[in-house]
Amino acid sequence: MANTMEIARTIIKQIRYADKWALGAYGAHNYVALPETKEYRGGLRFQVSGFHHSGFVMISLNWVDTYVISFLSYEGDVVEQYEDVYCDQLVDILDYIEGKCAV
């Protein structure tokens, strides 16, 4: 089983593989690896400054190897959430930050 830092790094690599400019376009910074919980194997949280969404993004890997992507306000409230996201859909969903989500 991968540790939580490996999971966070893998998520970043998957995003960069799909679009090497995406994280920069989102203004992504302050990356934090998420701990394992009963619901999730781990994940990644980071802050964004996008055209459509500014706040935080939380990408959690569940136990069936799909992601839950949550867009959070600066106060921590869920603004939008997508479940059952596969790695090849990450950038399409994350484009919500810029107001052009394909889902």
What the block records as the tokens of 38 is 């009963």
Query: What is the model's pLDDT at position 103?
Result: 61
The terminus-to-terminus CA distance of the chain in angstroms comes to 31
User: What does the pLDDT average to over 76-94?
Assistant: 95
pLDDT digits (tens, 9 = 90+) for 25-76: 999 999 999 999 999 999 999 999 988 899 999 999 999 999 999 999 999 9
Query: What is the model's pLDDT at position 18?
Result: 96
Residue 87 has pLDDT above 70, yes or no: yes
Least confident of 16-20, 35-39, 54-58, 96-100: 96-100
Integer Cα distance of 24 and 67 in angstroms: 21
Q: 102 pLDDT band (50/70/90 cuts)?
A: low
